């Protein structure tokens, strides 16, 4: 039973345009959400996060939106750059000391 | 700057061998985790630990064991390696407070079992 779902395995976007990566979750107990970026042969690196008390968090070219009623979050990258080509993982966590629950990832390709 | 290191980047072992994957973090983090990453399956949690000598099973613990004798070190053990354990293994650590959920990952070990 997948609690965090990334339904698009891959996404291709032209350089300079917006990339939108989506993530859905089923467990209403989740109250903190994170996005990680992973290049081949490297470990994932933290990108941006959002608490359930917010609906938007911005960091430079990256913005995460949270819609709690729809149990949906999205990561927007504007403008997209070739160096953004990577696998992006969505993750969620309850309050307290529990492990992150990861989605299966979306491979983003930014085409020059 | 948090650093998580893993003992090997690439490893090739034979079926039936006992395999040790070592992970060390230098930021005094309470929590440590082992994942494997396979194409189309994302990151799957094998084992985790919230304290020294403490361990908890993740989603796919079968065929694996772990050891945490010191706070900074978390070892993953494949008792008898099999070909279906060929994968990328990722170690992570986190501070363990409610205000910081971020996990820091090591570079990964690409294990091939032949």
pLDDT bracket for residue A108 (50, 70, 90) = very high
Which tokens go with A34? Answer: 């994170």
Taking CB atoms and an 8 Å limit, are A43 and B105 in contact across chains?
A: yes
**pLDDT at A2 exceeding the cut of 90:** no
Separation CA A103–CA A46 (nearest Å): 14
* Residue A48 in contact with partner chain B when CB distance is under 8 A: no
Closest Cα to residue A64, out of A78, A77, A52, A74? A74
DSSP state, residue A5: E
Question: Residues A16-70: pLDDT tens digits?
Answer: 999 999 999 999 999 899 999 999 989 999 999 999 999 999 999 999 999 999 9
Query: Which of chain B's residues have a Cβ under 8 Å away from the Cβ of A6?
Result: 42
Instruction: Kindly report the nearest CA distance between residue A7 and chain B, in angstroms.
Output: 11
* pLDDT value for A99: 86
Report A:8-37 residues touching B (Cβ under 8 A): 9, 32, 34, 36
User: Which regions in chain B score pLDDT beneath 50?
Assistant: none
* pLDDT value for B2: 67
The contact set of B with A (CB < 8 A) is: 4, 9, 31, 33, 35, 40-43, 45, 48, 50, 58, 90, 92, 96, 98, 101-108, 110
CB A66 within 8 A of CB A52: yes
Query: Which of chain A's residues have a Cβ under 8 Å away from the Cβ of B102?
Result: 34, 46, 49
Taking CB atoms and an 8 Å limit, are A44 and B43 in contact across chains?
A: yes
Mean pLDDT of chain A: 94
Kindly report which listed range (A61-70, A82-91, A92-101, B17-26) carries the lowest average pLDDT score: A92-101
pLDDT, mean of residues A66-86:
97
């Amino acid at each position: 039973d997948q609690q965090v779902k990334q339904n698009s395995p891959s996404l291709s976007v032209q350089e300079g345009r917006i990339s939108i990566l989506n993530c859905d979750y089923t467990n209403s107990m989740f109250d903190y959400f994170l996005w990680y970026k992973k290049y081949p042969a490297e470990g994932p690196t933290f990108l941006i996060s959002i608490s359930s008390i917010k609906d938007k968090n911005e960091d430079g070219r990256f913005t995460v939106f949270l819609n709690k009623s729809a149990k949906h979050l999205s990561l927007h990258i504007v403008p997209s750059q070739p160096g953004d080509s990577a696998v992006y993982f969505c993750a969620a966590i309850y309050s307290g000391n529990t492990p992150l629950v990861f989605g299966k990832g979306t491979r983003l390709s930014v085409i020059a | 700057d948090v650093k998580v290191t893993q003992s090997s980047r690439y490893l090739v072992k034979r079926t039936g061998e006992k395999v040790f994957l070592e992970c060390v973090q230098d930021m005094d983090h309470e929590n440590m985790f082992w994942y494997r990453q396979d194409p189309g399956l994302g990151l799957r949690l094998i084992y985790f630990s919230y304290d020294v000598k403490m361990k908890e099973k993740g989603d796919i613990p079968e065929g694996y064991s772990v050891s945490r004798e010191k706070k900074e070190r978390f070892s993953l053990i494949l008792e008898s390696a099999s070909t279906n354990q060929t994968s990328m293994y990722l170690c992570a650590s986190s501070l363990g407070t409610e205000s910081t959920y971020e996990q820091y990952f090591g570079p990964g070990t690409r294990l091939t079992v032949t």
